[in-house]
Structure 1
């Protein structure tokens, strides 16, 4: 059992802060092969019903009933909590922000709705911080800026949360491998909004145990001395030992196969003889075939169908070498069904919906003999066909607008299509994102060109004012034009305007020569002579 061969230590605290009631809730459970941690912040005002506690219980009940780290499983846990909150919204609409972390003692995967967070630290470095489902996060994502939403005014404007009326699309992370010494930190907004990431890392230098670490983080939070302290939850998981799959089991299986094959080959008086080396090779191939099938199944569950195809194909080839018709046919069927799903997705992306449905129905039919292999994935695609049609039509609309150079409208269509694509994990989402980036690039080019035209117009106006000797107006026009050229990176234009501004300043404030106040010597002599003449007249 994985739990017994690993060491995960958890410590947490959840406090009301300045309030009488704590609307946060945290709980976790550790099973033999999987563990689950859940932190929730209640967002409603119902004083009688604890929405956070209800959500945590719903997630853990679903997890215990069917523990798994698969992406689809975490989505189901979230949907169950969402459904329960909607059902119990009697007086007011219950709503909550949630973070769920599931581990198989080797890896983790998290699910987020709202702005509760998961941090993953290793060796004093932050490896992962879950994105918020808020307007602030969307703004930063659209600007392709890696900025913390901590200080943004829209950080609490949530686009997805438990209990919302419609369009519930939680974030599900990829699997993340754990190493010994890793630290996981779950928190609600009452904590992370007031504590910097670097402070969380610094606290790890002092807190060597999860309980000590949590206490230090609480001290950092309370040291802010805010008048109102929100409800806050902090949960730390220290990964002291990760479950390691030993090769002993694999070797034991190989040895058992070798012994079995030798026994079979020697039955009948030893008429057939195979060298031990050849028998061992057959046993190793059998284990290899099983590993490929297992890996293919995991990729399939995660929706990574291209990798699943590769694994099933390699497993089938090994089965051919072993002359094992049962596994060869089994893996060939799984390969075929997976390829049909991929072909269906490609057809849907191309707008060939009838063809896509044909592929999905074939995949469903061929999966029935294999205990309905791929049934959930196929049914989900068929159910989402209307939404896929909307996505493809929205993309086509965006393409039309793009071709007519209405890039802003095209970007709006692409954004709508991508939002829907993300909600159903549509395989064409990366292509839609690329179209968005192309439209944004065109918008940036047009904006730059418009700014340059505006600057050129201002420069011409400045020239006119200069010619009319209205130097103040000329300087004003030149200055604004210079700022625009600076923003658009036209340095030569900036320098040219600098000379024009200096010339205008010289005209506006000309240098006046200082007058010479000393009398010329001849003027002094004339003055002295006139005084002498006056004195002679008086003497006379």
Structure 2
């Protein structure tokens, strides 16, 4: 076991300085074959959530699961801490500066994000130092030693840190060989701002124990007698004896690695193909996730919470497929807020106002966890609840009048209640509108019945006038009755009255009577009684012959 065949001594000091709360945190773990030391300085203002502690525990949690000296694995340790801070950034954005060292007792790797530092001393001299990820460090890299990073006003202006929303890029060194007697120092800005590198090296003179070293550095810090002392943490690791590698065993490992590398290259083509395919799929799902979230936000802004609920649900499912826990949790919270608003509106519509307010309060609390999402809308709903109660009471009064068949009174109350509902965008407005329509229908039915009754009375008056043979008055009554029946769409009655009008008109204006005319009598001419005489002729004897003998 490497640990048993090496000797590493660790000592630390972490104090709040002039402040009540110490936002620094340190922890380490020495396993049989590998060890890990982590120092984190909290940079945020959250007084309840301890970002430094969360980060350290997040790193060591993953380290215990898979302890390794791999640079890729170390980046995953840090990435886990990064994700934890992002998820826990509910009230404010959690931020922290980290320095960590992982060692197999013969070599080491240091990692930095922010301006917490790592120093390696060998033979009493500074051998290696990490670089800050700050604007001051950038200026020093550009202009050389003309910039004193420890005193520069931009030394805390970091371009990379734990909790950064985008493009988080921690520095992870190559594997650095250790030697017997090396001294490693991890510290936060509270130390290096006040204790110079020369003083750190000088303090090693004649020192054999790590505890003595941290005590001396703390004395140097406090000797400055500053009015305000910031939180500070320092960890010294004395590598009195490192693990000696077995060269034969190392050669064996090299051969195994060579064979493994050959096999990897042999099957690497297919692996790369599937990795590329998987990456493409994740990219597509991620784009889908953002599309659903964007659409859901638009629906939410428009007050379409049902639509927002559906989009957030789809987006959360896409986040799960994309293995994006941050957006998965974010969309889950938006989903819950939308559902609580819908439930609150439903309770308000059913006039369960106390339950409605409870739902809104829960939604408001959830919204505060993600940058006051939807809180303005929710607070407006809570504020409007008094008006909603008044509307509910008015509707009840309107219902009472409706049941008492005072439809005009009910309609008047419903109209006032609906106006209030529209003013506050009350979701129960549509229900009030339906009640208004019912009241209007009842009023219309009553008016129709009144008109029909009036028309029937006019028809009866017309019948009586007709019976008295006052046909002109009967026609007037029938005409008025017919107009009313026509307005009420009683066509059968319209036709019936039309026949009565025609009969009355016939009686009032009968057609002229035509007397029958006798045919003319031909004149009678009296017969002529004067006797007529025929001229006298001689009698002809029978068988008398003519002159010619015939």
Rg larger in 1 or in 2?
A: 2
